[in-house]
Structure 1
Amino acid sequence: MGYLKYTQYVYIAFAVYFIYDGIIKLNEGSENYALSFIIAGMAVFMFFFRRKFVKKFDDRNKKQ
């Protein structure tokens, strides 16, 4: 399960992309920019959630 330590960074990559996309849409005057920022916020939340989950998983494995 070593890949779990690295998959959390995919969420940061998605957040950066959607923030960039939101800024581009905001500058163009598109009405859909808020959706990009919401998805970016969810991706940041998932990053921290996964970090906590991986730490809890590692701590549980160390006790056994």
Structure 2
Amino acid sequence: MQANVGSIDRAIRILVGLGLIAATLFGVIGVWGWIGVVPLATGIIGTCPAYLPFGIRTCAAKK
């Protein structure tokens, strides 16, 4: 798959994912925080499957 997540989008996804996972580990929000694995994974990989059907790309266009 081609990358469709830009650098700012990736950084936000990674921070949100880590924050949710950390909140779960410290008992702040319960098991729902494990949903943070999704933004963390898409941020690390650089591809968001939810963007594909809509043709959304937050990364710079390749020349």
TM-score, length-normalised on structure 2? Answer: 0.49
- Please identify the structure whose Cα radius of gyration is greater: 1
By relative contact order (CA 8 Å, sep 6+), the higher-ranking structure is 2
Q: Larger % of helix: which?
A: 1
TM-score, length-normalised on structure 1? Answer: 0.49
